[in-house]
Amino acid sequence: MFDAEVLLPDFWSILDAVPVTLLMAVTVFICSALLGGLFAFIEYRRIPVLHQLVIIYKIAFKGVPMVVVIFLAYYGLPAALHFVATLAGVEVNAHSLPNWVIIIVALSACVAAFQAEVWKGALNSFDRGQSDAALSLGYSGGQLFRRVMFPQIIVAAIPDLANAFMVIMKALSLAFAIEVVDIFAQAQLTAALNFYYLEAFLIAVVFYMVIAWVVTKMADRIEAMLRLRA
C-alpha cells in the first residue's frame, strides 16, 4: 500500500547519495570524453596500427555488457596494478583500491567506446575545405584546431554528449554490484529499512528526472551560446 508519509524521510535519505552520484558521473564523463576524443582523433587521422587497435577496442567494449566489465575490473584491476607495480619495483597494496575508483575506471573504459563515436561523427561533419583555407592563411595546426575546428566540433557533439552523461548516470546504478552506493543503491537501502519500496523508487525516479532535465537545459543553453560565437 502506498504511504505518502514516508516520502519526505525517504527523500532526505536518498538525497545524501545525489552529490556522490553526480561527482562520479562527472568524473566518468570527463575521463571517457577525453579517451573517446583521443580514439576519434586516431581514427580521423587514420594513424597506422593505432587505428586498428581503436576499432578492436570499440568492438570489445560496445559488445560486452557493462556489468561484466565492472566485475572484470573489480577482480582484475587490483591484480593488474599489483603486477605493474612489482615490475616497476614499487611497493603498492593494490588490493586496497577503493571500489569507487574501480567503478570509475570500468565505466570510463566502456563509455569511451561510445564517446569515440560521438567525436568521430562531429569530426566527420567538419568541412575540410575550411582547414585548407585556414592553412593557406598561415594558421598553424594548433591554431587551426583551436580557432576553426574545435568550436564547430563541440557544437555538433553537445547533444550526444548530453545523452552520454545520462547513459553514465543510469550505468552507475550497476555500481551497487560492487558495493558502491549511488542514487539507485541508496533507494534500495532506504526501502530495505522500512519496506516501502514503491515510495523509495519513486523518489529515485524524481531525482533522475530532475537531473536529466537540468542536463538537457544546460546542453541546450551551451549549444545556443556556442552557435552564436561560431
Q: Mean pLDDT throughout 71-94?
A: 83
Quote the pLDDT of residue 74. Answer: 93
d(CA 112, CA 30): 10
Say if residue 229's pLDDT is above 70: no
* Cβ contact 21:182 at 8 Å: yes
Residues in the chain, total: 230
What is the spatial distance between Cα 142 and Cα 16, in angstroms, rounded to a whole number?
A: 44
Q: Which residues of 94-111 are buried (b: 16+ CB within 10 A; e: fewer)?
A: eeebebbebbbbbbbbbb
Residue ranges per structural domain of the chain: 6-228
Contact 120, 44 (CB under 8 A): yes
Evaluate if residue 230 carries a pLDDT over 70: no
When the candidates are 3.90.230.10, 3.90.1170.50, 1.10.3720.10, 3.30.530.50, the CATH number that belongs to 6-228 is 1.10.3720.10
Q: Does 216 have pLDDT greater than 90?
A: yes
Task: Give the mean pLDDT of 18-30.
Answer: 96
Q: Is the pLDDT of residue 25 over 70?
A: yes
Instruction: Specify which of 83-97, 112-126, 206-220 reaches the highest per-range mean pLDDT.
Output: 206-220
* pLDDT for the residue numbered 106: 95
Output phi, psi for 80, to 5 deg.
Answer: -65, -45
At 125, the pLDDT band (50, 70, 90 cuts) reads confident
Residue-level pLDDT at 212:
95
Looking at residue 151, what is its pLDDT?
80
Q: Tell which residue, 118, 111, 106, has the closest CA to residue 41.
A: 118
The pLDDT > 70 percentage for the chain reads: 97
Range of weakest confidence among 137-141, 167-171, 215-219: 137-141
pLDDT at 204 over 70: yes
CB 230 within 8 A of CB 155: yes
Task: Give the C-alpha separation, 146 to 133, whole Å.
Answer: 15
Q: Is the pLDDT of residue 161 over 80?
A: yes
